[in-house]
Each structure stands twice: as C-alpha cells, then as structure tokens.
C-alpha cells in the first residue's frame, strides 16, 4: 500500500547538544499549530526528522504553510511503500513521473538505514535505477549535475521514496532564543528586521511610537497591518503603542534642531528598555542599516546605542536597500510600508541632521532636561496601549481595557 507523506528536515537546531530534543519538540508543536487547519494529518518524529502523513489532506496548501515555519530547512513530498523490491521500483517510477517539469537527467541514491534489508545500497541503486531507465526512455543518468535526484530511504517501518526537495525558512524554532522588543515603524526596514529576528528563534513584541494628533489614523492602521503580517509567522504578536507627542515636543523645544533625531532615538530606546523589563525581553531589535540615513551612520549609531544596557540587535546593518526591499516584497510587507502616511519620525525633521553627533553635547542636553525627561519617559511607558494581533483578527487582547484602539 502506498501512502502520501511529507518528510520535514530540521535546520540549525540539529547542531545543538543536550537541548536538542526539547528544541525539536518545540518545532513539532509549531508545525502542528501552523497546520491546524488540516486535522487529519498524523505526525511521527524521529531523530532529526519529522514525518507527516497526509491521510487525505491536500499537499499543496500544507506545503505553502510549511515553507514559513522557522526551524525547517527543507521538506519533500514522499511516497511510503513496503519493502518488496518490485513495489519500491514502481514507487520510484511514480515519484519521478510526478516531478514538474519533467527532468531530462537523474541520479539514483538509495539509503539502507534498515540493515536487515537483503540488498545493500549499491545493489539497490542499480536495481531501482535500471527499472526507472527502462520505463522512461527520455531520461538519462547524470551523477554530477542531475536535474533530479531520486531518493529511496529504506527504514524498518517502510520505504520512503521522493524526487524533489522544497526549501523552507530555516533558522531556529520561534522563541527558542528568548524574547526581544522590535522597534516597529511604518517603513520598509523594521518589519524585515522583525522577520529576521524571528527566524533566528526570537519571540518578538513590537513597539511603535505615535505622535497623535500630528500623526494620522492611517499611519496607525499601517503599523497594525505590518504587525499582523509578522503575526502570520509567529501565530500572534503583541503590539505596544507608545504615546510620544509630549516627549517629542519637549525635545524639539531644546533648540538643538540638528540633534533632534539623535535625542528622539535615544528616548525611544529608554522607553523600549523599560517595556522590555516589564515583558521579560532581553534585547531590542531595530531596522538600522549602516549609512542609510543620518541616524544610521556609525557615529549616530554609536551615540544612540549607548542609551541602553540591553543588547541592541540590528539584523539589517550590513545589507543594502535593494536586498531589504527584496525580502520585504517576499514577506508581502513592502506594499504596506510604502503607503505615504507620516509617522513620528517624519515630524520635526531638521534640514541638516547631525551625522556624527557629539556624545558629550547630547548628554549635556539630556542632563539639562533632567527629571523632566525621566518623567516624560515614564509617562510614555505608563500610557502605552497593548493589543494582541493575529494574522486575521484585529485584536485578541486578553483584557478589553488594553484595547482602546479598535
């Protein structure tokens, strides 16, 4: 009897030591969550692999969902059959006929994990490969650069046959490396930075600064849409909406126009650090890319980054804009990010922002603001509203009082 299965290969977590089993269990739970819409699926975990029996469920939509599960490096649609040689031969023929477009060359690879099987791997290469060649006249063997590699994996419980491999997101299972706060603007970069942080196993909570009424409702909606897109990859995401108007206005009144962006960014980190302490996060993620704007020169990043004791993670720092845009398009955040709605960072923008701010002067200005600055930071933290977003729902906030935005 032939059965449709999916063979899932784990990514970087397979290099882990004694925690490997726990991380694999975490990934299996996330796979089941991602495929919850297909209840008939059955799961079997082995060392370093996961087998999913389709059991009548459709392959294509399940495969599309698997591609975005962090921790999976690749997967294949496999046909499971018995140990009978002729059965294996016919299954191999079936597998290669399913490949689209039809390959012109192939390589046969048999793995005999079940050592009691009467033919060794080399014999099976010839026995199965020859059968495929005889019944596929246009197909040739190319062991160096084949169009398709036809694989047969003989295990004690049955034989798995497949002829294609689909790439997935890779990385680590979500949450495996702890939690971080993502500074989420309405731009192109920060959603990409968030996705890259999640791909490395970080659970993220997003922090957005708004300057209502100077910024519009459309600007808020834009950020919510971006956060919902990130929620697709994580199941859900918390979005912290920070009122920034009063603090931003106070900084603008210092008369240090060329330093306003530096002062704003440092204040954002102060607030994000306090929110991180409340939420148990151990790092802050930003969408900074070296040299992109005045606040992202090396001098600016040095002065801005000194205002937090948490690790400041900048996944995009060495990427150029076109690379970032390509990822944003793939994530389907790009079209939302380029909508022309202002955010707090577009307010009070000086004509000549400092690209190499003096740390001593910045500290002197903040010192002159003294307790007033601390008060405004605390008020912004205390006034923060939090919503829980999923891909398809506006808010799943556990406490209705938290959800004043919708």
d(CA 18, CA 287): 34
User: Nearest 5°: phi and psi at 49?
Assistant: -145, 160
To the question of whether residue 184 is assigned a binding role by annotation, the answer is yes
To the question of whether residue 183 is assigned a binding role by annotation, the answer is yes
d(CA 30, CA 185): 27
d(CA 129, CA 119): 14
To the question of whether residue 265 is assigned a binding role by annotation, the answer is yes
3-state percent breakdown (helix, strand, coil) of the chain, nearest 5:
40, 20, 35
CA neighbor of 263 nearest in space, from 190, 205, 350: 350
Contacts with 58 (C-beta within 8 Å, 6 or more apart), sequence order: 38
To the question of whether residue 77 is assigned a binding role by annotation, the answer is no
To the question of whether residue 133 is assigned a binding role by annotation, the answer is no
Contacts with 76 (C-beta within 8 Å, 6 or more apart), sequence order: 6, 7, 162, 164, 165, 166
* 289 and 315 Cβ atoms separated by less than 8 Å: no
To the question of whether residue 296 is assigned a binding role by annotation, the answer is yes
Contacts with 120 (C-beta within 8 Å, 6 or more apart), sequence order: 112
Residues annotated within a binding site for ATP: 183-184, 208-209, 265, 287, 296
Residues annotated within a binding site: 183-184, 208-209, 265, 287, 296
């Amino acid at each position: 009897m032939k059965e449709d299965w999916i063979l899932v290969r784990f990514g970087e977590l397979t290099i882990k030591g004694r925690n490997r089993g726990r991380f694999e269990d975490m990934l299996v739970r996330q796979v089941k969550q991602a495929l919850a819409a297909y209840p008939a699926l059955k799961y079997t975990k082995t060392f370093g692999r996961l087998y999913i029996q389709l059991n009548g469920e459709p392959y294509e939509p399940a495969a599309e969902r698997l591609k975005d599960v962090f921790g999976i490096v690749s997967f294949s649609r496999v046909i499971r059959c018995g140990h009978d040689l002729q059965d294996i031969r016919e299954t191999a023929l079936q597998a290669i006929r399913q490949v689209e477009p039809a390959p012109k060359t192939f390589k046969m690879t048999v793995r005999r994990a079940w050592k009691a099987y009467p033919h060794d791997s080399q014999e099976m290469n010839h026995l199965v490969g020859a059968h495929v060649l005889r019944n596929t006249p246009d197909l040739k063997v190319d062991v160096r650069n084949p169009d398709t590699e036809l694989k047969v994996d003989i295990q004690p419980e049955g034989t798995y046959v497949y002829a294609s491999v689909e790439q997935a997101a890779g990385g680590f299972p979500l949450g495996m490396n702890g939690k971080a706060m993502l500074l989420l603007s309405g731009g192109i970069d920060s959603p990409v930075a968030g996705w890259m942080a999640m791909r490395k196993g970080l659970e993220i909570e997003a922090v957005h600064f708004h300057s209502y009424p100077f910024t519009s409702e459309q600007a808020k909606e834009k950020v919510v849409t971006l956060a919902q897109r990130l929620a697709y990859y994580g199941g859900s995401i918390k979005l912290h909406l920070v009122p920034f108007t009063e603090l931003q206005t106070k900084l603008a009144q210092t008369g240090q126009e060329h330093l306003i962006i530096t002062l704003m960014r440092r204040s954002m980190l102060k607030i994000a650090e306090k929110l991180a302490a409340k939420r148990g996060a151990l790092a802050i993620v930003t969408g900074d890319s070296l040299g992109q704007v005045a606040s992202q020169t090396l001098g600016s990043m040095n002065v801005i980054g000194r205002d937090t004791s948490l690790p400041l993670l900048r996944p995009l720092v060495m990427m150029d804009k076109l690379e970032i845009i390509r990822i944003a398009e793939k994530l389907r955040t790009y079209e939302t990010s380029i909508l022309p709605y202002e955010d707090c960072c577009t307010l009070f923008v000086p004509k000549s922002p400092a690209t190499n701010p003096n740390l001593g002067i910045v500290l002197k200005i903040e010192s002159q603001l003294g307790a007033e600055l601390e008060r405004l930071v605390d008020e912004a933290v205390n006034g923060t509203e939090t919503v829980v977003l999923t891909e398809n729902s506006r808010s799943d906030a556990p406490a209705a009082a938290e959800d004043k935005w919708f």
